[in-house]
Structure 1
Amino acid sequence: MSRRRIGFWYRLAAVIAKPPLIVLFKRDWQGLEHIPADGGFITAVNHNSYLDPLSYAHFQYNTGRVPRFLAKAGLFQGSFVGMMLRGTGQIPVYRETTDALDAFRAAVAAIERGECVAFYPEGTLTRDPDMWPMTGKTGAARVALLTKAPVIPVAQWGANLAMPPYAKENRLRLFPRKTLKVLAGPPVDLSRFEGQEPTPELLREATEVIMAAITELLSEVRGEPVPAALYDHRKARAEQRRKAAEEGSK
């Protein structure tokens, strides 16, 4: 999708969002050359702040290839935010309902139209205590293997310093002025998974490859070594419940 086809609603969103982002934050953008100039593609992005969709969207808007985000269906209902999400062509996700497949179909259709679909493979804000990506869900890998669209890994850092996730006081911390860092990498090599039955095991393995690429980029952005293993929120919760049960039985 070229810049001239971005459309009225996305341009309106940019007019509203870009000025405060430019004034309030510094930017360190790298890897824009990896965003395809044409054709459908997927971006797989880490998620560490309620603010980072704006940071990442600003980065990619400037390439002329706007992202279509998958977002919780509830955000589309009423309100100015819902109107903007609908107008800019974002994709509602209906979790655990009969409409759950609609997001998958919409993502595939958008890619086949030559658009970009942005996935947050973790499915939610990271719960990792050190703010690294968690284990991912398989949606991005499933869509990628079906459409054969390139998957561009993207790592971002800085929005979480301005608006930390799960902070007791969910307010912006603007000073000192934060730098919003975004780094896009080359397409993830998923060739060894193509042409195979998309079993749960294969999709999990492909997802691990995608998450590893994002984590490597974030390691570069942060200037820190990659963690030994990605944080698994389900396992962490199960361990917490086990410990609580043990304490309760004493």
Structure 2
Amino acid sequence: MISIIGAGNMGMIVAAGIKEKVLISDSDISKLRSIKYKNISIAHNNIDLARQSNVIILAVKPQDIRGVLKEIKPYAKEKLIISIAAGVTTLFIEKVLGRVRVIRVMPNMPAMVRKGISAISRGKFAKAEDFKIADRIFSNLGEVVEVKEKMMDAVTAVSGSGPAYYFLFTYLLAKAAEAKGLKEDLALKLAKATFIGAAEIIKSKNLSIEDLIKKVASKGGTTEAAMKVFKRGELGVIIKKAVKAAAYRSNNLTNQHC
């Protein structure tokens, strides 16, 4: 039995992607009452859930993780623990639960439309078969990559936070279009469709990003003029600083749970 502790946004996204029966619990009863998926059953509490489970997915806030681990500790010894709690290391979970098999996963928001990418790291006692189980679960939500756990802060800053960067740029592009006289709905439609189409090209064409830019930015053309503005404004430097700030914050959270 696969079980999930935490019926928040990401917990429910993961649950919806699992094809077999899922058991779920949450301290907020109102979240459980709103669940309508046929494959999801409700556990009375975390202890009841842990007793019935082979695989326990922790989808709780970092500040709640210690309390949840202490609750399930008596029943966790032979279970596979998969944590998607931001900043919580496999070592921290092992310190609380003992010699348990732990997998850490960093999914991202596009998982809600099955277009996500999840980075997976193994704990000290996790086996190859445990990785396969996690891979099978999160492959339902998009792509899966295995990374060393020390790289999770960088992963968080890029793929975890990254969707917000794209949302922001889409918004800013639409606002710039409005400033040139386009109506709000048309400006947003153009910006959204352009990003979606560009993403599909990146995915489907075996070309580098640099080559794709060259195909659009012909010498002396309109795109080249825009690119020069980005370069003068040091857009690349700004993005590096933003990613660095996100990674630094992720590291701060990690240091609280390591």
Name the structure where helix makes up a greater proportion of residues: 2
Q: TM-score, normalised by structure 1?
A: 0.28
1 or 2 for the larger relative contact order (CA 8 Å, sep ≥6)? 1
With the length of structure 2 as denominator, give the TM-score of the two structures: 0.28
Q: Which structure: larger Rg?
A: 2
